[in-house]
Amino acid sequence: MAARSLGAGGGLEATELAIRTAVTRLGASLLEDLLAADAGYRGPRIGCGSGHQAAFVSYRDKAIDTALGPVTVRRAWYHCAACGHGLAPRDAELGVAGASMSPGLAKMTARAAAAVPFAKAAGLLAELAGIDLTIKRVERSAEAAGTTAATAIGAQADAIRARQVVPLPPPGPAPDMLYIAVDGTGVPMTAAETEGRKGKADDGKARTREVKLACLFTQTTLDHDGRPVRDPRSSSYLATFEPAERFGQLLDAEARRRGYEHIRQPVVLGDGAAWIWHLAEEHFPAATQIVDLYHAREHVHELATLAARLLRGHRPDWLAQRLDELDNGDIPALLAAGRDLKFTGCLATDRDKALAYFETNAHRMRYKHFRSLGMFVGSGVVEAGCKAIIGQRLKLSGMRWTVPGAASIATLRCQEASNRWDEIWQRPRNQAATSEPGICQQHHTQTATG
Ligand SMILES: [Zn+2]
């Protein structure tokens, strides 16, 4: 038997990998033949894309890395004298204009780089797919894919808001409630990205930039104990470094896409930050506003730390009572206990500041009432989302990002977590590739020589 002649496990491994390499090479040559069937000659003159005519110059080779390894495609090259730039229509059709990677390989690369740091992603591609790419190429390609995806999401959002696109209502009976959970978290940045920004570090300088994150999910049923149950696979995520105003527009469009207009009860969950409630009032006036219980509890802990200075040491019973009051949504009782702390001077200021959070948000903390309506009161989902989507990839030790780099990877991770990964890649071919810097230069060089 053939298998027996392979000998021990090591022999099998070497053989299977050798066969994979051979089959992949064969595949690459098949692909090259297929590509050669159309050399992309579209007549002596074609539109250049900017209103001029570009003239046919010659056939030129282009090297493309594909999922089957490197291939060379010979295609017609045109030059526009008015723009001074060259183009190959075939490149746009194949989705490789300005790029040196095929769409298939770019997608694999983005998948790996969205999951793990670039160096690890390059290692995974080499081991799992037999494709060798430098770390820098993995980074550039994945970031270009994420940037393209973010641009497409923005354009779709604008179209939805302008009613040029009307999202279909969700299939089946409409869910009962739509939750829009909003949060922000800091992503570590390079010095250039935080220059002149104020931060929380000891020297007063910022080390991070805030990414705004939203998780939208629906809920229709309650469990045996009357607790709300999130509809399975109903979460979608949105992340951006853009200002709150733009974030609000993207969020508005995402809510509409999720069927906001067909759902009985929208709910906005937030951590108490004022910008979140401004957005809620502007875009979702019908929504019930709830301060996420986990965040509110943190504020009670802070108040208890302050109280301990007056009550001579840690007083677990004081804290436990306040947490009970919070859980019951009895904010007046909590405030009364807080005001009983007879501080003077800056401690009094600290107390008033801490209490202001509960005063301002009291109507968003009627937890007993919200629970009786069968609503979620804690945004554990968005907390987990923040940790998983942002923290596990963008906040690993030693990482320093640029805003565009972090934004693109965050976008890829959001699309993946939203089960919308494939939608990123379904766009017109001539928009499929944004330029990779190294390749752009090659493009210009070709123009100059041609
Ligand atoms: Zn032109």
What radius of gyration do the chain's Cα atoms show?
A: 28
Q: What spacing in Å lies between the alpha carbon of 36 and ligand 1's midpoint?
A: 27
The per-residue pLDDT for 54 is 96
Give the Å distance between the CA of 432 and the centre of ligand 1.
21
- 417 alpha-carbon distance from chain centroid: 8
Q: Residue 441 C-alpha to ligand 1 middle, in angstroms? A: 18
Assess if residue 417 is contained within a domain. Answer: no
* Separation of CA 101 and ligand 1 centre (Å): 25
Strand pairing report for 265-270 and 85-87: unpaired
- Residues 301 and 274 reside in one and the same domain: no
Residues 261 and 394 in one domain: yes
137 C-alpha vs ligand 1 centroid, how far in Å? 29
The pLDDT tens digits of the residues spanning 23-34 come to 999 999 999 999
pLDDT tens by residue, 76-97: 999 999 999 999 999 999 999 9
Torsion of CA 258, 260, 261, 262, to 10 degrees: 70
In this prediction, residue 435 has a pLDDT band, given cuts at 50, 70 and 90, of very low
Q: Does residue 150 sit within a domain?
A: no
Q: Is residue 371 part of a domain?
A: no
What angle, rounded to 10 degrees, do the helices at 403-417 and 135-161 form?
70
Render pLDDT for 53-79 as a digit per residue (tens, 0 to 9).
999 999 999 999 999 999 999 999 999
Indicate if 282 and 299 belong to the same structural domain: no
252 and 353 in a single domain? The answer is no
Who contacts 24 (Cβ-Cβ below 8 Å, separation ≥6)?
68, 69, 130
Same domain, 64 and 118: yes
CATH number assigned to the domain comprising residue 395: 3.30.420
Output phi, psi for 207, to 5 deg.
Answer: -110, -10
Whether residues 220 and 274 fall in one domain: yes
One domain for residues 185 and 282: yes
One-letter amino acid of 216: L
Roughly how many angstroms between the first and final C-alpha of the chain, as a whole number? 58
CB-based contact 249:221 (threshold 8 Å): no
- Which pLDDT tens digit goes with each residue over 248-295? 999 999 999 999 999 999 999 998 889 999 999 999 999 999 999 988
- Residue 45 forms part of a structural domain: yes
Residues 267 and 204 occupy one common structural domain: yes
Q: Do 241 and 318 share a domain, yes or no? A: no
* Angle separating helix axes 316-327 and 331-339, nearest 10 degrees: 150
- Ligand 1 centroid–CA 234 distance in Å is 46
- Ligand 1 centre distance from Cα of residue 57 (Å): 14
Q: Are residues 304 and 382 in the same domain?
A: no
Do 129 and 12 share a structural domain?
A: yes
> Could you give the number of structural domains in the chain?
3
DSSP codes of every residue in 97-143: TT-SB-HHHHHHHHHHHHHS-HHHHHHHIIIII-----HHHHHHHHH
Ligand 1 centroid, distance to 166 Cα (angstroms): 35
Task: Say how many Å lie between the CA of residue 158 and the centre of ligand 1.
Answer: 29
Residues 261 and 118 grouped into a single domain: no
What is the percent of the chain where pLDDT is above 90?
73
The 10s digit of each residue's pLDDT in 323-368 is 999 999 999 999 999 999 988 888 899 999 999 999 999 999 999 9
Question: Could you give the dihedral angle defined by the CA atoms of residues 18, 117, 102 and 402, in that order, rounded to the nearest 10 degrees?
Answer: -160
Residue 266 is assigned to a structural domain of this protein = yes
Ligand 1 centroid to residue 87 C-alpha, Å: 10
Q: Which residues pair with 66 in a beta bridge?
A: 69
- Does 155 map to a domain? no
Ligand 1 centroid–CA 77 distance in Å is 14
Per-residue confidence band for 432, with pLDDT thresholds at 50, 70 and 90:
very low
Quote the ligand 1 centre to 447 CA distance (angstroms). Answer: 12
Read off the pLDDT band of 167 (50, 70, 90).
Answer: confident
Cα 197 → chain centroid = 24
Domain that holds residue 395: 167-292+378-401
Cα–Cα distance, 299 to 294 (Å, whole number): 9
* Predicted pLDDT at 174: 87
Residue 427 has what pLDDT? 59
CA of 43 to the centre of ligand 1 (A): 16
C-alpha of residue 142 to centroid of ligand 1, in Å: 29
**CA proximity to 261, closest of 287, 242, 289, 237:** 287
| Residue located via tokens 């320093």 | 400
Question: Is 187 a member of any domain?
Answer: yes
- In a domain, residue 355? The reply is yes
How remote is the CA of residue 353 from the centroid of ligand 1, in Å? Answer: 61
Provide, rounded to the nearest whole percent, the portion of the chain with pLDDT above 70.
Answer: 90
Q: Cα of 49 to ligand 1 centre, how many Å?
A: 6
